Amino acid sequence: MVALHATQAEPAAVELTDVVKRFHAITAVDGVSIRVEHGTVVTWLGPSGCGKTTTLRLLAGLEQPTSGRVLVWGVDPARVSARERSTSMIFQEYALFPHLNVEDNVAFGLKVRGVGREQRHRRARELLDLLGLGGFERRMPRELSGGQRQRVAMARSLILEPKVLLLDEPLGALDAQVRRQLVDELRSLQRRLGLTFIYVTHDQAEAMALSDRVVVMNRGRVVQDGPPDVVYRHPRTSFVARFLGDCNIVDGVIRSIEGATAYVELGGFGTVCPEANGHCAVLGEPAPVKVALRPEDLRVVPEKDGRARALVLDHTFLGSEIRYQLDVSGLRVQAMTDHDVVHEARTWVGLQWRDEQLSIVEDDLPDVSATI
């Protein structure tokens, strides 16, 4: 998509230009161009098979692009030996050496570079202390919990002082609570060390919690690229909208456009989309569109107070919130509200929303008839 141009003289930490990677008949990466500045956390987010891991492996120098250019700190990682690269990779499931204890695992990179025993073990212990694993030096990987293994893998990479850390679904095998804790730890670690993190995951919660920038990928292409809140609040396509969380996507018709604002008719009532996401330029008027709104942005209010009238079909109590299934002039939507008042099924309610929270999305999923 659109590459962000920086004006500094320093090379970007990572720069991919029109990168394509094919494996026999499969195109894993299909024309990706990205530029990442140093010190940021960028997450490649997408479903399995979208090309995010392949892209990461291209950055690690483990694969060579079929065409296009891959640069890390101005250097093609596949062309130089591992020791000359600025990257270090944390593999899926960590790939800790099962026959080495924690300290030897961490010191491995220094050992193969010929660093003396005393020195490398001292450095290893320092790093383990830094990551809260002091005292674990003699343990074997199989004796560690998932979270501990992840930290050992981090230590093993960080000891080599890379400028760019590549993380391949590092929290995949852990349960939710450990994951949340580790996300915070990773974030603070990154801030402290000032490294560039390139993070790959299919979990949108991780992506949004951790990153400065989210790159959403599907089928080898970058679909949207921006800060987490922008990508979440204003998805460009229905794929992005759905991937990042529950989302209402309804069919509507554009009646008129003024500047960047579109006036859209949705099943009998009208609304305004102030941020038309650049669609206006391509669409004629009137034209069918899809409009997206997050359930938590759709408020359920008493009927007389609403901008639109809806019939409650069902509600589910979720603890801190209630999820409603509603029918609005034949459109089915979801809303999430707090549980002050519970509206029973088959009652009429009103809906409120803020226009700025609506997005017009491109339809890139095969079946996008209604909401989830």
Partner 1 sequence: MRRERRFGVGTWVAFLPLLGWQVVFYAVPFGVLALASFWQLEGNRLIPAWTLDNYARVFSKSFYFDAWIESLWLTIALVATVSVIGYAVAYTIVFCVPPRWQPVVLLAMVAPFWTNYLIRAYGWSMVLGGAGPVNSVLQALGLISQPMQLLYTPLATRIGLTHFLSVVMALFVYARMVSIDRRLLEAAADLGASRWQAFREVVLPLTVTALKTALAVVIVWGFADYVTPAVLGGQNPRVFAQLVVDSIQRNANWTLGASFAAMMVLSILFFSALTSRIPAPRSQDLA
Partner 2 sequence: MRRITPRVSLGSGLLAFLGLYLGFVYIPMVMVAVSAFNHNRLSALPWRGFTLEWFANIPVEPGLLDALRNSLLVGIAVAFTATTLGSLAAYGLRRREFRGQGAILAFLASPIAVPWVLLGLGFLLFFNAVGVPPGLLAVWIAHTTFAAPLAFMIIRPSVNALAANLEEAASDLGASSRQTLMDVILPLLAPALAAAVLLTFTLSLDEFIMAWFVCSFDYTLPVRIWSSLKQGVSPSISAISLIMLCFSMGTLVVALAVYRRRTV
Query: Residues interacting with partner 1, by CB under 8 A?
Result: 23-24, 26, 28, 48-51, 53-54
Cα 213 to Cα 34: distance, rounded to the nearest angstrom: 11
Under 8 Å between Cβ of 166 and 59: yes
Q: In which residue are the tokens 């229905």 written?
A: 238
Please compute, for residue 308, the number of CA atoms within 13 A of its CA located in the half-sphere on the CB side: 24
**Residues within window 291-350 making contact with partner 2, judged by CB under 8 A:** none
Q: Which does 28 bind (CB under 5 to 8 A by kind): partner 1, partner 2, none?
A: partner 1
**Residues within window 52-71 making contact with partner 2, judged by CB under 8 A:** 60, 62
**Per CB under 8 A, 95 contacts partner 2:** yes
Which residue intervals of 113-225 are DSSP H helices?
117-130, 146-158, 176-193, 204-210
Select the span of 110-118, 144-152, 185-193, 302-310 touching partner 2 (CB under 8 A): 110-118
**Per CB under 8 A, 160 contacts partner 2:** yes
Buried-state track 217-230, b at ≥16 Cβ within 10 A, e below 16: bbbbbbbbbeebee
Q: How far is the CB of 132 from partner 1 (least distance, A)?
A: 33
Q: Which does 26 bind (CB under 5 to 8 A by kind): partner 2, partner 1, none?
A: partner 1
- Residue placing its CB nearer to partner 1 in the complex, 57 or 299: 57
Cα 176 to Cα 179: distance, rounded to the nearest angstrom: 5
Cα 327 to Cα 312: distance, rounded to the nearest angstrom: 7
- Residue placing its CB nearer to partner 2 in the complex, 98 or 366: 98
- Residue placing its CB nearer to partner 2 in the complex, 84 or 356: 84
Q: How far is the CB of 25 from partner 2 (least distance, A)?
A: 16
Q: Which does 48 bind (CB under 5 to 8 A by kind): partner 2, partner 1, none?
A: partner 1
* From 30, 93, 321, 363, residue interacting with partner 2 (rule: CB under 8 A): 93
Q: Which does 269 bind (CB under 5 to 8 A by kind): partner 1, partner 2, none?
A: none
Q: What are phi and psi of 119, to 5 degrees?
A: -65, -45
DSSP 3-state of 83: helix
* From 37, 49, 91, 187, residue interacting with partner 2 (rule: CB under 8 A): 91
* From 7, 8, 48, 81, residue interacting with partner 2 (rule: CB under 8 A): 81
Q: How far is the CB of 286 from partner 1 (least distance, A)?
A: 41
**Per CB under 8 A, 111 contacts partner 2:** yes
Element holding 70 (H helix, E strand): strand 67-72
Q: What are phi and psi of 126, to 5 degrees?
A: -60, -50
Which among 208, 224, 108 is positioned nearest to 160, based on CA atoms? 108
* From 70, 89, 328, 335, residue interacting with partner 2 (rule: CB under 8 A): 89
Q: Which amino acid is at 95?
A: A
Cα 202 to Cα 206: distance, rounded to the nearest angstrom: 8
Under 8 Å between Cβ of 155 and 106: yes
Q: How far is the CB of 59 from partner 2 (least distance, A)?
A: 11
Under 8 Å between Cβ of 48 and 202: yes
- The residues binding partner 2 (CB under 8 A) are 60, 62, 81-83, 87-89, 91-93, 95, 97-99, 108-109, 111-113, 142, 156-157, 160
